Amino acid sequence: MVTQEQIIEALKKVVSPDLIREMKIAGGTVNLTVAPSAPVEQIRSAVSKVPGVMLVNLMTGERTGSSAAPRYVVAVASGKGGVGKTTTSVNVAVALARDGARVGLMDADMYGPNVPLMMGLEQLPALKDGKIVPAENFGVKVMSMGFLTKPGEAVIWRGPMLHGAVNKFLKEVLWGELDYLIVDLPPGTGDVQLSLAQVISLSGALVVTTPQDVALQDVQRAVAMFEKVKVPVLGVVENMSGFACSHCGKVTDIFDKGGGVRAAEAFKVPFLGEVPLVPEVRAGSDSGHPLVLTHPDSPAAQAFTRVARGLAAQLSILSAGQGAPAQTVWKV
For 255-282, what is each residue's pLDDT tens digit?
A: 667 778 888 888 889 999 999 888 788 7
Q: What is the DSSP string of 121-177?
A: --SPPEEETTEEEPEEETTEEEEEGGGTS-TT------HHHHHHHHHHHHHSB---S
CATH architecture of 4-62: 2-Layer Sandwich (3.30)
pLDDT score recorded for residue 18:
56
Of 241, 245, 278, 277, the closest CA to residue 260 belongs to 241
Looking at residue 120, its amino acid is G
Does residue 213 carry a pLDDT above 90? no
Under a CB-based contact definition with an 8 Å cutoff, are residues 309 and 270 in contact? no
Comparing 122-126, 283-287, 313-317, the range with the smallest average pLDDT is 122-126
98 Cβ contact partners less than 8 Å away, ≥ 6 residues apart: 138, 139, 292, 293
Under a CB-based contact definition with an 8 Å cutoff, are residues 259 and 83 in contact? no
pLDDT score recorded for residue 66:
42
Task: Please give the residue that has the higher pLDDT: either 252 or 328.
Answer: 252
Distance from C-alpha of 206 to C-alpha of 86, rounded to nearest angstrom: 12
pLDDT score recorded for residue 325:
37
116 Cβ contact partners less than 8 Å away, ≥ 6 residues apart: 107, 122, 135, 142, 144, 146, 147
Task: Please give the residue that has the higher pLDDT: either 249 or 228.
Answer: 228
Under a CB-based contact definition with an 8 Å cutoff, are residues 166 and 193 in contact? no
pLDDT in tens, 69-108: 688 999 999 877 788 899 999 999 999 998 888 899 999 8
Across 11-15, 116-120, 317-321, the highest mean pLDDT is recorded for 116-120
Does residue 65 carry a pLDDT above 50? no
pLDDT score recorded for residue 74:
94
> In the chain, which segments carry CATH 3.30.300.130?
4-62
Distance from C-alpha of 191 to C-alpha of 229, rounded to nearest angstrom: 13
170 Cβ contact partners less than 8 Å away, ≥ 6 residues apart: 106, 199, 200, 332
Does residue 137 carry a pLDDT above 90? yes
pLDDT score recorded for residue 264:
87
Does residue 302 carry a pLDDT above 80? yes
> In the chain, which segments carry CATH 3.40.50.300?
67-331
Its CATH class, for the domain covering 67-331, is alpha beta
Task: Please give the residue that has the higher pLDDT: either 277 or 207.
Answer: 207
Under a CB-based contact definition with an 8 Å cutoff, are residues 77 and 220 in contact? no
Does residue 323 carry a pLDDT above 50? no
Displacement of CA 160 from its chain's centroid (Å): 22
DSSP state of 330: H
pLDDT in tens, 233-260: 999 999 887 776 767 767 777 766 777 8
Handedness of CA 323, 324, 327, 332 (dihedral sign): negative
Mean residue pLDDT across the chain: 81
3-state secondary structure of 58: strand
Of 264, 181, 180, 178, the closest CA to residue 219 belongs to 264
